[in-house]
Amino acid sequence: MTSTPSRTAGPPVVTLTMNPTIDLCWEVDRLEVIGKNRARVRSVAVGGGGINVARHVVRFAGRATAVHTAGGETGLRLNRLLDEEGIDHVAVDIADDTREALVLFETGSLRSFHIVPPGPRLHRREGDRCLDVLERLVAGSRSYVVASGSLPGGLPDDYYAAVARRVGAAGSRLVLDTSGPALPAALAEGVFLFRCNRTEAESLTGRPVNGFDDARALNERLLTTGAAEIAVTTLGALGALCSTVHGHTELHAPPLPGVPLSDAGAGDSMVAALTARLAAGEDPVSACALGVATAAAAMLTPSTEPFDVEVARSLRSQVRTATRG
């Protein structure tokens, strides 16, 4: 396990990334069907939901520690990259190799292509070690814990439900941002905050989620069943709906001050801003407003490159809200 000291002060945020990746970003002028495509290396960075969230929490002057798996030579490189970036992290060794992903950015069309393999297969005991590490980190701290991203093969569908139990028993609050078979079991256990996009919302409702009314129906169900204390459903260019026991608030996305280049990382960026502000004591609606602004700022950057924090803050004042009771 590897740990580096945090550079900033503030309430703690701990993130969990079970299936991290090294994102290799290459750029080409135009992808050609015939012949070779000569590419330039644009960036090499560690990715994965929780790691991205930890990175951006720190950029918003918060304090974060990323718990993640790491295996093989790729895992060693992942640890080195995190150390070089100065991200506080704890690596849990696994036998299989950490995955690498490829991002192709076509400069002529300003399009990004994100190619992601499934990643390693974990043994149950490796998943249990991650739970033990997480539990030790948050014990007695009243931390916010962000579980974000997909689960690797080999782990049971109720793995995030186990995370929710451990986090709750430690007196901390779980922010969940995931999809797939692990989602229903985690929501049955109950979480502090659940963030979903349209695709994930539709998987839960079984029907299209086209606007705020559809999002409200889902959020009400999440609250009344005890699946979440706070439900945030994002609606792409429309914005997001933030729901608590006090009511539902529509947060309308600000106009973009530029051409949208990629939506990769917008969700992680939103969750980071939202969690950072919650940890700092801000109310959920205000924190979510910064999250919506940050997601918009992330749209202005190609591939998975970091958004401009000052642009995100400037867009915050342009997020319109409407309370629906």
For residue 28, the cross-strand partners are 106
Residue 221's Cβ-count burial label (10 Å; 0-12, 13-18, 19+) is middle
For residue 91, the cross-strand partners are 68
Q: Give the Cα separation of 231 and 233 in Å (integer).
A: 7
Q: Between 266-279 and 284-298, two packed helices, what is the crossing angle to 10 degrees?
A: 150
Q: Is 83 a catalytic residue?
A: no
- What ranges make up the beta strands (E) of the chain? 12-17, 21-28, 40-47, 63-71, 89-94, 99-106, 111-115, 144-148, 173-177, 191-196, 228-234, 239-244, 247-252, 320-323
Q: Report CA torsion sign: 68, 305, 301, 64.
A: positive
> Is residue 63 within 8 Å of residue 11, measured between CB atoms?
yes
Q: Give the Cα separation of 139 and 226 in Å (integer).
A: 24
Q: Give the Cα separation of 286 and 230 in Å (integer).
A: 13
Catalytic residue from among 88, 177, 214, 268: 268
Helices and strands in the chain: count of H runs, count of E runs: 10, 14
| Active site positions, annotated | 268
